[in-house]
């Protein structure tokens, strides 16, 4: 057994002992059966409701379990394959805990499924499960590069356009459900209120401009919104014209994320499914594909001219 394996096994044994004591406390055992008074704090916190003001309320729970196990943020991060700063983000409620991350925490901290259950009960289902992790990354990224094959990217959508996309996906969706989905989608664009970051680079297929989503008036409004964002310098926009022929990303949408203290990541999506990728080799391939696509796109200036031209076509009687 290597030194690292031995340390890992030692940590797991220590954690298991601590969590067993906490479980005894939660079942009404005498104080002498518990490791320390800190474990009683864990039991009391578990029985209380999450703070509604907290963005992701399980962060406090994680800190209590980590402290009770005698682990630093760096130490827990090592066992999970995270950085210590990532653990700090989770504990502060700034980072969304993906369901797979919750399961890994339960395994490492020997918490008998606590974080998985807490995740399912406490985290609001604002987005589809496959998109949750990517949505969380939008709020932390310092740069977002995106290619859109058919639809305007969610971060750029107007209300009318977003509403039309949701209505097309589920014709019998209740109006209140549509409203909630539209609000959640438009809420994502709040990150654009910061004039500096994330740096936004959007590459759109010409199909995005030509597909009439929500009617001609809605499309004119949508393209004018994109033009305004690009003209202000907040978003760099390029369009891949039909005349470009075949190119690297033409079969799939793609989003690339860059962070301050984490490796870059990618997200690709299909019908009712999506994949978040943080494997360095695969992310590198996606970055190369995005670069090849941007290389065959129109310049930002020519792209704006095309967007303006198509918007005027939609406004024409």
Q: Is the domain of 173 the same as that of 238? A: yes
Taking alpha carbons only, the member of 284, 258, 283 closest to residue 140 is 258
Task: Say what the pTM is.
Answer: 0.66
Q: Is the domain of 195 the same as that of 109? A: no
Q: Is the domain of 252 the same as that of 159? A: yes
Which of 96, 122, 148 is a domain's end point? 122
Would you tell me the crossing angle of helices 114-122 and 58-68 to the nearest 10 degrees? 160
Q: Is the domain of 226 the same as that of 252? A: yes
Q: What is the pLDDT of residue 30?
A: 40
Q: What is the pLDDT of residue 172?
A: 81
Q: How far is CA 145 from the centre of its chain?
A: 14
Q: What is the pLDDT of residue 128?
A: 79
CA-based radius of gyration for the chain: 24
Which of 102, 122, 142 is a domain's end point? 122
Distance (Å, whole) CA 250 – CA 50: 44
Q: Is the domain of 118 the same as that of 145? A: no
Q: What is the pLDDT of residue 68?
A: 84
Q: Is the domain of 133 the same as that of 210? A: yes
Counted domains in the chain: 2
Q: Is the domain of 13 the same as that of 103? A: yes
Residues of the chain with pLDDT under 70: 1-57, 96, 119-125
Three-state DSSP at 15 gives: helix
Q: What is the pLDDT of residue 3?
A: 34
Q: What is the pLDDT of residue 215?
A: 97
* DSSP one-letter code for 271: T
The partner residues of 147 in beta bridges, in order of sequence, read 203, 254
Boundaries of domain holding 101: 3-122
The enclosing domain of 98 has a CATH number of: 1.10.260.40
């Amino acid at each position: 057994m290597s030194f690292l394996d031995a340390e890992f096994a030692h940590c797991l044994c220590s954690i298991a002992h601590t969590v067993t004591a906490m479980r005894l406390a939660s079942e009404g055992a005498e104080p002498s059966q518990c490791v320390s008074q800190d474990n009683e704090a864990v039991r009391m916190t578990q029985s209380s409701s999450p703070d509604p003001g907290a963005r992701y309320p399980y962060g406090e729970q994680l800190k209590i379990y980590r402290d009770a196990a005698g682990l630093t943020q760096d130490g827990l991060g090592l066992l999970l394959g995270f950085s210590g700063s990532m653990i700090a983000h989770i504990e502060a409620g700034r980072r969304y805990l993906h369901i797979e991350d919750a399961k890994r925490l339960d395994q490492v901290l020997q918490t008998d499924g606590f974080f998985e259950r807490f995740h399912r009960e406490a985290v609001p289902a604002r987005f589809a499960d496959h998109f949750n992790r990517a949505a969380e990354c939008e709020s932390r990224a310092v740069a977002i590069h995106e290619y859109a094959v058919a639809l305007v990217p969610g971060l750029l959508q107007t209300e009318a356009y977003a509403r039309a996309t949701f209505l097309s996906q589920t014709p019998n969706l209740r109006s209140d459900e549509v409203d909630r989905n539209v609000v959640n989608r438009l809420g994502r664009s709040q990150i654009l209120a910061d004039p500096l970051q994330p740096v936004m680079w959007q590459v759109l297929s010409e199909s995005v401009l030509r597909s009439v989503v929500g009617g001609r008036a809605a499309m004119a409004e949508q393209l004018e919104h994109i033009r305004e964002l690009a003209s202000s310098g907040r978003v760099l926009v390029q369009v891949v014209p039909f005349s470009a022929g075949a190119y690297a990303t033409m079969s799939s949408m793609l989003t690339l994320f860059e962070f301050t203290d984490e490796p870059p990541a990618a997200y690709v999506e299909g019908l009712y499914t999506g994949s978040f990728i943080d494997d360095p080799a695969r992310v590198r391939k996606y970055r190369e594909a995005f670069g090849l696509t941007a290389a065959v796109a129109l310049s930002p200036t020519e792209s704006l001219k095309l967007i303006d031209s198509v918007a005027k076509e939609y406004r024409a009687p």
